[in-house]
Amino acid sequence: MRLLPRTKREAMFAVYAYCRAVDDIADGDAAPEVKLAGLTAWREEIDQLFQGRPHHPITRALRRPVETYGLAKEDFLALLDGMEMDATNRMVAPSLAELELYCDRVAGAVGLLSVRIFGVSGPAARTLALTLGRALQLTNLLRDLLEDAELGRLYLPRELLEAHGIETRDPAAVLRHPALAAVCGDLAEVAGERFADARAALRDRPRRAVRPALVMMNVYRRMLDRLVRRGWDRLDQPVRLHAAEKFWLALRYGIF
């Protein structure tokens, strides 16, 4: 984000601050009802933002980006909908449709806010935001299987679990199941398809406008490839990209 023009960079930092604030609520140690109350307070704050009366420092920082880039209220609220899915412990072997809805809310909505700031518009921009959001979020979920299981979450879709004979819905037990690799391999293929969809949506867009999305896509695509190469029987072996690799990708796609 430091490579964007100052006004766009400040707008993205404000969006990031909002995302971080609501994510911290959903991932915190509080009881579900306390988390929901915190998220409801943010709904009220978003209402105030779009009425021109923001109170919180984050929504005050968002006021100018909302006005300048036409950021949509529905996208801010969609993120809260996604956080509520986590806060109420709904995300245990969801259906594929529910998993994609979750991805659209927690990642696609952020993408929709971002593409407006980048200056990309039209139907292709929406397709880009949602397909790339799904690809990135599925990659995150495959990377964070252990951490999510510790929170009682299991994002692997039940259709894939059932297809490979996994009946339990206990997150830790699923991660020990011999068929885990087959399930994760199938979900990695879905993520790969979403990356391909996002790349197609990027094809006809102005390169300068979409280059932050292009770099993000290629960083995460490389991470997905590395997860697949590592396999799914060594979940305690983290997969990350080194700073040098990210720098090379930035050079390759014209960020510098």
Q: Indicate the average pLDDT of the chain.
A: 90
Taking alpha carbons only, the member of 255, 166, 184 closest to residue 217 is 255
Mean pLDDT of 188-194: 98
Q: Is the pLDDT of residue 246 over 90?
A: no
How many Å apart are CA 68 and CA 45, to the nearest integer? 19
**Stretch(es) of the chain classified as CATH 1.10.600.10:** 91-252
Of residues 203 and 111, the one with the higher pLDDT is 111
Q: Domain 91-252 belongs to what topology?
A: Farnesyl Diphosphate Synthase (1.10.600)
Rg (CA), the chain: 19
Question: Could you tell me which residues are beta bridge partners of residue 92?
Answer: 154
* Banded model confidence at residue 2, pLDDT cuts 50, 70, 90: low
The tens digit of pLDDT for each residue in 23-43 reads 999 999 999 999 999 999 999
Q: How confident is the model at residue 191 (pLDDT cuts 50, 70, 90)?
A: very high
**Farthest-apart Cα atoms in the chain, separation:** 55
pLDDT value at 3 more than 80: no
In the prediction, which pLDDT does 167 show?
96
Provide mean pLDDT across the span 60-68.
97
Most confident residue range from 3-7, 103-107, 198-202: 103-107
Give the per-residue pLDDT at 242. 61
CA dihedral 200, 202, 205, 209 (to 10 degrees): 180
In this prediction, residues 68-80 reach a mean pLDDT of 97
Name the nearest CA neighbour of 75 among 29, 25, 117, 26.
117
State residue 216's pLDDT score.
87
**pLDDT at 210 (0 to 100):** 78
pLDDT at position 209 is 74
111-131 b/e with 16+ CB inside 10 Å = b? Answer: bbbbbbbbebeeebbbebbbb
- Rounded Cα–Cα distance for residues 218 and 211 (Å): 11
- pLDDT of 245 reads 52
248 or 167: which leads in pLDDT: 167
Tokens of 86: 């986590």
HEC assignment per residue over 174-205 = HHHCCCHHHHHHHHHHHHHHHHHHHHHHHCCC
Contact criterion met (CB below 8 Å) for 113 and 197? no
Q: Is pLDDT of 255 > 50?
A: no
Please give the Cα distance from 115 to 126 (Å, whole number): 8
Q: Is the pLDDT of residue 252 over 50?
A: no
User: pLDDT tens digits for 117-164?
Assistant: 988 888 888 999 999 999 999 999 999 999 999 999 999 999 999 999
- Closest C-alpha among 236, 92, 256 to residue 174: 92
- pLDDT at residue 223, rounded to an integer: 94
Q: Which two tokens stand for residue 162?
A: 């059932």
According to the model, what pLDDT value does residue 253 have? 43
CA nearest to 187, candidates 144, 217, 216, 247? 144
As a whole number of angstroms, the distance between CA 113 and CA 109 comes to 6
The secondary structure of residue 101, as a DSSP letter, is: H
